[in-house]
């Protein structure tokens, strides 16, 4: 029996410019091995970059007028840690650092956040819950093609709006990069555009689960079905917090801020995460495995392909970080936490 669970793109037709494989009529290669997504990107007029001055104007509008100037969503990863650093040190705001643990956050990631808030001297709210475990279990047990990260992102953004309202924070700061936003603009659709070719099929399967699974009418009856539903709900809240990321406005990438947060905050890469050099929860291994199994790529392939097109990372770097070879025993232990087996994951 294999000791690893792995998928390899080497045997697939993969775009020669980005890392998207040819897997459906929505994503296909031309005779030169270039995908339609890259071709469409080249046809678009250059986007007008957002300026840091635009960001500062928004921050200044709310500075000092609320209990906290902003709520910073912290995962312990490089991007959100840098975002927290910028809010406190670069913009001299009073942020509330917020981290959730749905039972699968890694100790290394939690430690990164604790070190950062200690060094920066900011207030820290840690939220631990088992709320999502039943949903994760159902996705695995029913062989749903829903991407776990999608309903999870809806849940944690809804939670972030709730926490921002409770703590009188007018702005929610995320560590989203340009690859995680369809448009680098104020109040994006919280990460990905479900109508873009890369996400249509994934979004369809996730929506089917959220609409039709019996759990959604009982355990999760108040759960938003889409990001659009979540945003409509957020507009009805008293403080109507907006969501921003400093990475949309600043010209700096990981090459600049990783060294900074290592030196000043004691930050470090966690030992085991997917993709390489990321900081994602343990359930992300299961989510990524299922995405490769059912769709032939993950949302990380989409994000990194966008970053390649923007010239932020190289194709070689993306291919290296996207290699999937997960330890079987690790996957067994993760699945045990939701009362599932490796056979539940591997079976058709």
- Condensed to tens digits (0 to 9), the pLDDT of residues 8-51 reads 776 569 999 999 999 878 999 999 999 999 999 999 888 788 89
pLDDT at 240: 87
DSSP bridge pairs for 125: 98
The CB-side HSE value for 158 (13 A sphere, CA atoms) comes to 17
Does residue 30 lie in a domain region? Answer: no
Cα–Cα–Cα angle for 272, 278, 282, nearest 5°? Answer: 50
Enter the tokens of residue 194: 């479900």
Does residue 99 lie in a domain region? Answer: yes
Upstream peptide bond of 275 is cis (omega within 30 degrees of 0): yes
Q: What is the mean pLDDT of residues 52-61?
A: 96
**Is 278 exposed, middle or buried (CB count within 10 Å of its CB: 0-12, 13-18, 19+)?**
middle
Q: Is 70 exceeded by the pLDDT of residue 215?
A: yes
Does residue 6 lie in a domain region? Answer: no
Map residue 167 onto helix, strand or coil: coil
Does residue 13 lie in a domain region? Answer: no
The number of domains in the chain is 1
Question: Who contacts 110 (Cβ-Cβ below 8 Å, separation ≥6)?
Answer: 76, 99, 101, 126
Does residue 160 lie in a domain region? Answer: yes
Q: Is 50 exceeded by the pLDDT of residue 183?
A: no
Q: What is the mean pLDDT of residues 146-173?
A: 96
Q: Is the pTM of this model over 0.75?
A: yes
pLDDT at 10: 60
DSSP bridge pairs for 24: 27
pLDDT at 187: 40
pLDDT at 185: 38
Total length of the chain: 348
Q: Is 50 exceeded by the pLDDT of residue 184?
A: no
Enter the tokens of residue 39: 């071709």
Does residue 8 lie in a domain region? Answer: no
Report the CATH number at residue 218.
3.40.50.620
161 in Cβ contact with 185 (< 8 Å):
no
pLDDT digits (tens, 9 = 90+) for 267-295: 999 999 999 989 999 999 999 999 999 99
pLDDT at 2: 65
Question: Who contacts 228 (Cβ-Cβ below 8 Å, separation ≥6)?
Answer: 189
Question: Who contacts 15 (Cβ-Cβ below 8 Å, separation ≥6)?
Answer: 21, 22, 29, 33, 34, 35, 37, 38, 305
Question: Who contacts 161 (Cβ-Cβ below 8 Å, separation ≥6)?
Answer: 172, 230, 233, 234, 237, 241
* HEC secondary structure over 104-158: CCCHHHHHHHHHHHHHHCCEEEEEECCCCHHHHHHHHHCCCCCCCHHHHHHHHHH
Map residue 259 onto helix, strand or coil: helix
pLDDT at 11: 59
Domain boundaries, position 137: 49-348
Does residue 284 lie in a domain region? Answer: yes
Does residue 195 lie in a domain region? Answer: yes
């Amino acid at each position: 029996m294999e000791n690893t669970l792995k998928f390899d793109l080497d045997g697939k037709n993969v775009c020669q410019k980005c890392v998207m494989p040819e897997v459906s009529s929505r994503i296909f290669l031309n005779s030169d091995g270039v995908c339609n997504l890259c071709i469409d990107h080249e046809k678009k007029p250059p986007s007008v970059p957002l300026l840091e001055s635009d960001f500062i104007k928004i921050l200044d509008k709310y500075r000092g007028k609320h209990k906290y100037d902003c709520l910073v969503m912290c995962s312990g990863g490089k991007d959100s840690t840098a975002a927290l650093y910028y809010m406190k040190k670069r913009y001299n705001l009073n942020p509330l650092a917020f981290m959730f643990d749905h039972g699968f956050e890694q100790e290394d990631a939690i430690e990164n956040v604790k070190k950062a808030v200690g060094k920066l001297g900011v207030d820290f709210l840690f939220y631990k819950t088992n709320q999502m475990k039943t949903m994760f279990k159902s996705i695995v047990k029913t062989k749903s093609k829903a991407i776990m990260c999608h309903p999870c992102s809806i849940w944690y953004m809804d939670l972030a709006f709730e926490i921002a309202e409770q703590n009188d924070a007018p702005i929610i700061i995320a560590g989203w990069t340009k690859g995680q936003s369809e448009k680098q603009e104020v109040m994006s659709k919280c990460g990905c555009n479900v109508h873009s070719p890369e996400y249509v099929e994934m979004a369809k399967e996730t929506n089917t689960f959220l609409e039709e699974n019996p759990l959604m009418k009982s355990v999760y009856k108040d759960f938003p079905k889409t990001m659009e539903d979540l945003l409509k709900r957020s507009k009805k809240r008293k403080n109507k917090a907006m969501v921003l990321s400093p990475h949309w406005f600043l010209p700096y990438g990981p090459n600049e801020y990783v060294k900074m947060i290592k030196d000043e905050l004691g930050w470090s890469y966690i030992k085991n995460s997917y993709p390489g050099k990321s900081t994602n929860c343990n359930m992300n291994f299961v989510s990524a495995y299922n995405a490769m199994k059912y769709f032939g790529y993950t949302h990380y392939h989409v994000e990194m392909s966008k970053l390649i097109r923007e010239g932020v990372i190289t194709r070689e770097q993306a291919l290296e970080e996207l290699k999937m070879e997960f330890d079987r025993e690790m996957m067994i232990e993760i699945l045990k936490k939701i009362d599932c087996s490796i056979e539940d994951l591997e079976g058709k």
